[in-house]
Amino acid sequence: MKQKSTIILAALCSALLWTGCENRIEERGPKGDIPASEISNLSFTSTEDTEAHEASITINYDVTETSGTDLLYVRAAYFDPYLGKEVTRVGSVWAKNVILPNTFKVAGTYSVTLTPVSSSDKEGKPVSIDVASVPVSPSATKGPMINGIKLSTNAQEPREGPIEDAIDGNPSTFFHSAWSQWIGAAHYIVAELPKEETAIHIEFITRHNGNGEGNPQEADIEISMDGSTWSDLTHEVYEVERQNGKRVRGGYLLFDKPFKFVRFTPTKNPGNKVFFNLAEFELYTILTTDFEDTAKKVIESHQGK
């Protein structure tokens, strides 16, 4: 009799445990059909990560939560011309935005439809927005030195430092612009390139001796196709004081059309002198990667299918 009572009690306990388990499952599940909250006031911004060489678009929205509604996430659907297919992105309820990664200006307009979704997986009213991306800047790295350049100057000092010494490969010689006579104009160096370029990088080595008063600290850079008509390229500022024999590096200079002449006109030096001097003057090519052009070719390949 004792054994039978034990079996009945165990069966009752099992039934109670199963009922409690079912109740807990029901508690964790969705409670009815909860409509999704509305989203509105769509806007967008586009930014570029210059280190990663990637652009993105962020679509922002406001959420209106009325009684009995909620929002679990927002689904953004659009056609990505670069990928050549429909893409879906998801935005968090907390962030109130959706990010479209890896976008390009050459892709044109992205037509995006945003749909709010509730915690019970109910879709709300979709809204649409047309967005566009900022361009992805090309990357640039220093290429080989340009050999065979020809140098000239409007202000050669007759007593020392011939212009040829600025490209003789010997940092113990130097070029010196005029100090013993008045020129009446800013002193400059003109470099004639062996062939047309669209981008260059300037480096120079300061004079190996002296007090460093003629070291170029700033310079105007101009370019030309014929050596007569000049276009401003940039103004460079160099990290140099009175150091002797220091290698000084400029930036990566890109232009939107080819050139064959470069004019280097120093505008500041430590001694506040009209003249300047340097041991070596070097021009380098720049190796570029045009991400927008590459994306354009990929997009066109999808369109040709």
Going by pLDDT thresholds of 50, 70 and 90, the confidence category of residue 94 is: confident
Tell me how crowded residue 229 is: count the other CB atoms within 10 A of its CB: 9
Both structure tokens of 34: 């909860």
With a CB cutoff of 8 Å and minimum separation 6, the contacts of 237 are 217, 218
State the number of CA atoms in the 13 A half-sphere of 231 facing the CB: 14
DSSP 243: -
Which percentage of the chain shows pLDDT scores above 70?
89
Interval 204-256: pLDDT, tens: 999 999 999 999 999 999 999 999 999 999 999 999 999 999 999 999 998 98
- Distance (Å, whole) CA 26 – CA 43: 40
Q: pLDDT digits over 257-291, tens only? A: 999 999 999 999 999 999 999 999 999 999 989 99
Residue 75, CB-side half-sphere exposure with 13 Å CA sphere: 15
pLDDT score, position 86: 98
SS3 category, 166: helix
* Residue-level length of the chain: 305
